[in-house]
Chain A
Amino acid sequence: MNMFWENVRLALTSLRTNKSRTFLTMLGIIIGIAAVIAIKTVGNSLSLSVSDSMQSMGANNITVYLNSKEADKDETEDGYVFGTVTNDRALTKDDLFNDEMIMGMFRQFSDSIAAISTQAEVETTTVKKGTNSKSLSISGVSLGYFTANSLEFVSGGFFSADEAKDGRNVIIVGTDFVDSLYGGNYAGIIGETVSMPLYNKNMDFVVVGVYKYQASIYTMNSSSSAYIPLKAAQSITHFDRYTTFSVVSKVGVDSDELAVSIKDYLNGFYRNSNRLEVETYNMASMISGMNDMMGKITTAVSVIAGIALLVGGIGVMNIMLVSITERTREIGTRKALGATNGYIRMQFIIEAVVICIIGGTIGILTGLLMGAIGAKILGFAAAPSVSSIVGSLAFSMFIGIFFGYYPANKAAKMNPIDALRYE
């Protein structure tokens, strides 16, 4: 230990006397380590932020939708680009999902399914109260909607099972609606009747719940979402088919597996269709896809960084060879004073390791800065990867030992008298 710290001190002294040379030697290590740390920081930030949003969006949600088999074609004859069936105007009502299919599917997999969320858009309307008015976007939703989407209630709650089953005229509104028209009296509005024109008819709805409205970048217009029972919506629109719906899997069920089963089951209805097929996506598979991509980028960057580190390591070896040649007489003197070969070897290996660790540390700091900037540009919170920092330090040390060994051994094997006489 005595000698170890003495050697570290010695190495620092020798590096200080050759500052610019030392820095240039370190550059390869700095670039290599910085690249790895930067990409790891961005990757880590990305997956953390994705898993955050996964939790808020519901990791167990599986979205089922109809996809055009012709989607591979970039365009139709009239030049209209489409991917999903919603853009295909020529489809008929009979092509879409109906309640029978969905119920059949539910019965088949009832052990795995916690809820099914079906939704029907009615229309956007305007509610007037005195001189004020507020735009409301009305959707009919099944009870499962509230399982699939986490709505926070300020007062009241969901529709009752009876209200949903009978399709009664009840409504759930957002706090922003209450703020605009009812002076923020969230408790007082429960049980009140709200009138609005829908499909050119004036209709009354009784407020049963107020959910907490959360502004998001996806809210393009100023209309507030309001929810009525699916049955009520269907009796207004006279349309009971769906192009998409969501399934919430039970806790402990593998969403990926369930998604495949659902897809296979529902595709049974579309076996003879040459236009449509059923597709699903879920958060879990999206995340694993994203992680796969990140993994590939990380591998590519690591290969480049590995080359930089190799070149850096050779640079360290080169400078160590120069250093021992310059200090041949010093090595001879040390041997005359009783330094063993092992001690001389250790002295120069430690010097190489010190260069690499300083280079590695600068690289880590640079990489963290670059990663933080990168994450900010992409809009994520920067999350440094601790394992890659520890790994980088260990790897710097390894480079120092590996590339320092040959020069150090050369110094150790010098004949003392030849070294002393060296001019």
Chain B
Amino acid sequence: MSEGANTVISLKNIIKRFYIGTPNELQILNGITLDVHEGEFVSIVGQSGSGKSTLMNLIGLLDRPTEGEYHIDGLDTASASDNDLSYIRNQQIGFVFQTYNLVPKTDALKNVELPMLYAGVSRKERTQRALELLELVDMGDRTKHLPEELSGGQKQRVAIARAMANDPAIILADEPTGALDSKTGRAVMDLFHKLNKEQGKTILLITHSNELAEETDRIITIKDGYITGERKGSGCVPTPSETVSESEVTEA
């Protein structure tokens, strides 16, 4: 997206340490500074253990940084209470996990309704919007299926519909295709492109696959808790002749 757009995520010198009992402390992030603009499709690439998931959890407000400043949509998260963070997660962020994390024993429709339930949306409205979203991700015919009755690709599509429930500005996707085969992975990636292009969603994609990263607007490389590189990507879906490499499927 253009440089003039609003900054929705602003990280300044973010440090995250884990204490595994003194004197052992583990510094996972060593001062990350990063801005993400509205409507951008950014990928964060790194090896296992590079700190990219920790960074994602901080951005998703599932955890707090040890040091540094994090503003989301202009709001300083350091001063926010746990309930404030719950509210921001509910309204501004949509999560897509590698392991889908659908609530068990609860059908696709109810799963998609969940963020709206926490937002206090009426039952009727909830159901209507959830049906629309399931239609959008091409799951309109499986609304009453339980998670255990769905394939991996189907589960991930339900999860994406759920991430969209409260129309958040940001979608955080942590290895969303990591557990899928290349064909269904492709479909999920296409869906992200669609949401980015058609609905203007800001998307942060965490991946260890360079091929997938190439499709995004900007590629940030992270290693040992430092940002080691930043470059522009194509920002578009590869032509059908290009197939996604099998390397994407490894290391689940």
Residues of A within 8 A of B (CB): 2-3, 6, 10, 13-14, 17, 329-330, 332-343, 415-417, 420
Q: A338-B87, A416-B62 are in contact. Are A6 and B82 (CB under 8 A)?
A: no
Q: Is the CB of A338 within 8 A of B62?
A: no
Among residues of B, the one whose C-beta sits closest to the C-beta of A413 is B82
Instruction: Identify which of residues 50-88 in chain B touch chain A, using a CB-to-CB cut-off of 8 Å.
Output: 57, 60, 62-63, 82-83, 86-87
- Bound CA–CA A364/B235 (angstroms): 66
Q: B104 contacts which chain A residues (CB < 8 A)?
A: 330
The 6 closest A-B pairs by CB, nearest first: A338-B90, A417-B62, A333-B101, A338-B118, A340-B86, A417-B63
B122 at the interface (CB under 8 A from A): yes
Among residues of A, the one whose C-beta sits closest to the C-beta of B122 is A2
Indicate the member of B86, B87, B122 with the most A CB atoms within 10 Å.
Answer: B86
Q: How far is the CB of A162 from chain B (nearest CB, A)?
A: 86
- Bound CA–CA A336/B56 (angstroms): 12
- Bound CA–CA A341/B87 (angstroms): 11
- Bound CA–CA A339/B63 (angstroms): 15
Q: A333 contacts which chain B residues (CB < 8 A)?
A: 101-103
Q: B83 contacts which chain A residues (CB < 8 A)?
A: 340-342
Among residues of A, the one whose C-beta sits closest to the C-beta of B100 is A333
Q: Is the CB of A337 within 8 A of B62?
A: no
B105 at the interface (CB under 8 A from A): yes
Q: Is the CB of A6 within 8 A of B89?
A: no
The 28 listed contacts between A and B (C-beta, < 8 Å) are A2-B123, A3-B117, A3-B120, A10-B106, A13-B105, A13-B106, A330-B103, A333-B101, A333-B102, A333-B103, A334-B118, A335-B86, A336-B62, A336-B95, A337-B95, A338-B90, A338-B91, A338-B115, A338-B119, A338-B166, A339-B86, A340-B82, A340-B83, A342-B83, A343-B118, A416-B63, A417-B63, A420-B101
Q: How far is the CB of A419 from chain B (nearest CB, A)?
A: 9
- Bound CA–CA A415/B18 (angstroms): 14
Q: A17-B105, A340-B82, A417-B57 are in contact. Are A334 and B89 (CB under 8 A)?
A: no
Q: A342 contacts which chain B residues (CB < 8 A)?
A: 83
Q: A337-B162, A338-B89, A341-B82 are in contact. Are A2 and B101 (CB under 8 A)?
A: no
Q: A10 contacts which chain B residues (CB < 8 A)?
A: 106
Q: Is the CB of A337 within 8 A of B105?
A: no
Q: A14 contacts which chain B residues (CB < 8 A)?
A: 105
- Bound CA–CA A6/B106 (angstroms): 12
Q: B102 contacts which chain A residues (CB < 8 A)?
A: 333
Instruction: Identify which of residues 95-112 in chain B touch chain A, using a CB-to-CB cut-off of 8 Å.
Output: 95, 97, 101-106
**Among A330, A332, A337, which residue has its beta carbon within 8 angstroms of that of B118?**
A337
Q: How far is the CB of B164 from chain A (nearest CB, A)?
A: 12
- Bound CA–CA A14/B90 (angstroms): 24
Q: A417 contacts which chain B residues (CB < 8 A)?
A: 57, 62-63
Q: How far is the CB of A52 from chain B (nearest CB, A)?
A: 52
Q: How far is the CB of B166 from chain A (nearest CB, A)?
A: 8
Q: How far is the CB of A344 from chain B (nearest CB, A)?
A: 10
Among residues of B, the one whose C-beta sits closest to the C-beta of A339 is B118
- Bound CA–CA A2/B116 (angstroms): 11
- Bound CA–CA A335/B118 (angstroms): 10
Among residues of A, the one whose C-beta sits closest to the C-beta of B95 is A336
Q: A330 contacts which chain B residues (CB < 8 A)?
A: 103-104
**Among B57, B89, B120, which residue has its beta carbon within 8 angstroms of that of A337?**
B89
- Bound CA–CA A343/B105 (angstroms): 19
Q: How far is the CB of A7 from chain B (nearest CB, A)?
A: 10
Among residues of A, the one whose C-beta sits closest to the C-beta of B58 is A417
Q: A341 contacts which chain B residues (CB < 8 A)?
A: 82-83, 86
B114 at the interface (CB under 8 A from A): yes
- Bound CA–CA A164/B106 (angstroms): 88
Further 13 A-B residue pairs, CB within 8 A, beyond A3-B120, A337-B114, A338-B118: A333-B101, A337-B118, A338-B86, A338-B115, A339-B90, A340-B82, A340-B87, A341-B83, A416-B62, A416-B63, A417-B57, A417-B62, A420-B101
Q: B103 contacts which chain A residues (CB < 8 A)?
A: 330, 333-334
Q: Is the CB of B60 within 8 A of A336?
A: yes
- Bound CA–CA A338/B86 (angstroms): 5
Q: How far is the CB of A339 from chain B (nearest CB, A)?
A: 5
Q: Is the CB of B82 within 8 A of A337?
A: no
Q: Is the CB of A336 within 8 A of B89?
A: yes
- Bound CA–CA A334/B114 (angstroms): 8
**Among A2, A337, A415, which residue has its beta carbon within 8 angstroms of that of B90?**
A337
Q: How far is the CB of B10 from chain A (nearest CB, A)?
A: 21
Q: How far is the CB of A224 from chain B (nearest CB, A)?
A: 75
- Bound CA–CA A115/B55 (angstroms): 98
Among residues of B, the one whose C-beta sits closest to the C-beta of A9 is B110
Indicate the member of A333, A338, A342, A415 with the most B CB atoms within 10 Å.
Answer: A338
Mark each residue of chain B from 159 to 183: 1 if its CB lies under 8 Å from any CB of chain A, else 0. 0001000100000000000000000
Q: How far is the CB of A250 from chain B (nearest CB, A)?
A: 67
Q: A2-B122, A17-B105 are in contact. Are A337 and B63 (CB under 8 A)?
A: no
Indicate the member of A329, A340, A342 with the most B CB atoms within 10 Å.
Answer: A340
Among residues of B, the one whose C-beta sits closest to the C-beta of A14 is B105
Among residues of B, the one whose C-beta sits closest to the C-beta of A326 is B104
Q: Is the CB of A6 within 8 A of B62?
A: no
